[in-house]
Structure 1
Amino acid sequence: MIVGAGSIGLMYASRLARAGISVSLVTRSAGQASALNKYGITLEEQGKKSQHPIPAFVMGSLDVLTDEPTGFWWPNDHDWIWLTVKQTHLDSNLISQLSSLTAQGASLLCLQNGIGHMEKLGAALPNTPLYAAISTEGALRMDDTTVIHTGQGRLTVGAWPKSLNTGEQMQKMLLESLDLAGIDAELSNEMVNRLYDKLLINAVINPLTAIYGVKNGDLPQDPVRLKLMMAVHAESEAILTAAGWHSPVDSWERLLSVCKQTARNESSMLRDVKAGRLTEADWINGGIAALAKRLHIPAPLNDAMTVLIKSLII
């Protein structure tokens, strides 16, 4: 069951369904659920389109859902729930729904950007097997039922906290299903470090592409933008290292490589700003600033990025 039918949710749901794996989607709007039930998901890869029927339900009153003859099923301890909503939607109502969905022992795999969400979910769902996940796949949602798979990547999954030693069979079954669907995946027992890896990249690319209104590959092409990239990177790297991150020696080169590999992509933050939506700045640059505050380290650039991004959507 995939909770959240944005670009990542639609992309993974369609690929899993194509492989014959039982998948359902939970959406925030009745309109999207209706469209998905009527048309399924249209997946575009390398210019080729395919359609995949997917049962969809509205996140809301689960009592209403289960009373209707819609085929809704309660996830049990053999099932996975993937949470693909943005952190902006991770409120008390959604967490309450997740508590109901995981009541029979389903594992919850979380694909949010930024930091803070795993601690929040762990505190609210203490009996739920939690897994952090990071995806480097590229996806772009065109409408309620259409998604473009814009670039191959990898899905990294790990138990949270890493001391969790249960669910080995579940993890093995998950990897087998992902392999069947052609999804490159790996297990990691260092998910805090992996989350910080991605956080550093997001803290530079996302706000600056949103502020300048450019695609990822264009960001380092201007010397002024490049200088600001280097400054945000240096500040963020120092804070994350102080927080326990094991920094790769080539983190700056890796950042430039991501810009090159995703040159034609618009960051999610730029798309949110263009659409007038709330961004994840509070959990990306704001998350780094919060770490810095706890460590008594100044974070003027991350503070500034957070404020600037918020000012763009007022």
Structure 2
Amino acid sequence: MRFEIVGGGAIGLLYGARLALAGYPVTIWTRTRKQAELLSDEGIELVAGGTIHTIDVSASPITECSRPVERTSEHKVLLITVKQPQLTAVLLEYIRLIAEEGDIVVGLQNGVGHIESIQHSLPGRIVLAGVTTEGALRHGLRTVEHTGEGVLSIGEYRSTSLTEASGDELLSQSDRMIRESRQKMLMNALSKAGIAIELSNEMNNRVYQKLLVNAVINPLTALFDVRNGELVHHPARLSLMKALHEETLSVLTASGMDDDGTSWDRLLQVCDRTSGNISSMLSDVRAGRLTEIEWINGGVCRLADDAGVNASLNRSVMHMVQAMFKS
């Protein structure tokens, strides 16, 4: 089994390094030639547990992928680790050249809408949703620090609007057995690489649960310019967190998420466990990059419109984050 990782950010480098350390062939597909050359020449530098590892990987700029990747006898897995703003139609066309029919493709984006886009663009591939709670921080173009242990959950994501497009209902028993076999191979490979992994039959729930956390923490840390843990120690911010959580929870449960009554406690636990972390949205704001607000809180607003429920607070924080950038 070989791994093609689309995106040279923190999660892409973290998983690429760990898989390569376990002996699997890994290619990192980067946005820039500069990063690809650096990774090819010097490898990934992984900082974990007080130890620094240098791991050799292959790397290429994805924009130079002009023809289908040569077929091999090895099963191929693509991990798409770019953020939602980078998951464009143009990028998906490049990914079509890398992913053959029957290959596993895992979308690891925050927010909602990405799996549907991947399914539409990559018919015949085994498209899985992925949700990770790993902590990682990239330093420069080739160095990644593993800042917190977590779990990677993967599984099939069901969208009623994509039943016809995905064709899952037309799979023969033989095809489904092949899918299940390749998923088990993937699970074994990730486990061998030391990645805590679970195959979930409830990925819609997992995606919504992560969306709930991101819809509260990301925009508020970006707006107040604070680390995750600082949100809960300010009474007014804590009150705003609570209101945003309640509204988002009502939208997601109306959209089909199971509510077990513990989501607020889980949110507080995430703030505590990642208290020193700078959220990805705050990092993007500080760097002047396009944020994922349109796919996180904007995604909540679209779900609310579909379900006919209120999402005025989500809409407000989305507009405020968008207003932080010059038009």
When normalised by structure 2's length, the TM-score is 0.91
2:91 aligns with 94
Query: Is 1:270 matched up with 2:282?
Result: yes
Query: Where does structure 2 lack aligned partners over 5 or more consecutive residues?
Result: 160-167, 170-175
Which whole-Å CA distance do the structure 1 matches of 2:134 and 2:101 have between them? 30
2:131 aligns with 134
Asked if the contact 1:155–1:184 (Cα under 8 Å) also holds between the matched residues in 2, the reply is yes
Which whole-Å CA distance do the structure 1 matches of 2:230 and 2:72 have between them? 44
Which whole-Å CA distance do the structure 1 matches of 2:183 and 2:321 have between them? 38
Choose which of 275, 296, 306 in structure 1 pairs with 2:318: 306
1:14 aligns with 17
Deviations 1:110-133 (A, max 9, x none): 100000111112122222210000
- Determine helix, strand or coil for the equivalent of 2:79: strand
Cα distance, 1:179 vs structure 2: 1.3
Deviations 1:157-181 (A, max 9, x none): 0023396745111111111111111
Which whole-Å CA distance do the structure 1 matches of 2:251 and 2:74 have between them? 38
Query: Where does structure 1 lack aligned partners over 5 or more consecutive residues?
Result: 67-71
1:69 aligns with none
**110-119 or 55-64, which deviates more:** 55-64
- Determine helix, strand or coil for the equivalent of 2:63: coil
- Determine helix, strand or coil for the equivalent of 1:218: helix
2:145 aligns with 148
Summarize the alignment of residues 152-301 of structure 1 with structure 2, pairs less than 5 Å apart: 152-161=149-158, 165-166=176-177, 167-301=179-313
Query: Is 1:54 matched up with 2:66?
Result: no
Go from structure 1 to structure 2 and tell me whether the alpha carbon gap of 1:62 and 1:76 turns closer, same or farther (over 3 Å shift). Answer: farther
- Determine helix, strand or coil for the equivalent of 1:132: strand
Which whole-Å CA distance do the structure 2 matches of 1:62 and 1:44 have between them? 30
- Determine helix, strand or coil for the equivalent of 1:114: coil
Asked if the contact 1:25–1:57 (Cα under 8 Å) also holds between the matched residues in 2, the reply is yes
Asked if the contact 2:101–2:125 (Cα under 8 Å) also holds between the matched residues in 1, the reply is no
What percent of counterpart residues are identical? Answer: 43
Which whole-Å CA distance do the structure 2 matches of 1:262 and 1:122 have between them? 32
- Determine helix, strand or coil for the equivalent of 1:219: helix
When normalised by structure 1's length, the TM-score is 0.94
The alignment covers a number of residue pairs equal to 308
Asked if the contact 1:135–1:155 (Cα under 8 Å) also holds between the matched residues in 2, the reply is yes
Which stretches of structure 1, 4 residues or more, deviate above 3 A after TM superposition?
72-77, 160-166
Query: Is 1:117 matched up with 2:120?
Result: no
- Determine helix, strand or coil for the equivalent of 1:313: coil
Query: Is 1:30 matched up with 2:30?
Result: no
- Determine helix, strand or coil for the equivalent of 2:289: coil
Query: Structure 2: which amino acid aligns with 1:128?
Result: R
Which whole-Å CA distance do the structure 1 matches of 2:72 and 2:297 have between them? 35
Which whole-Å CA distance do the structure 2 matches of 1:34 and 1:264 have between them? 32
* TM-align CA RMSD: 1.6
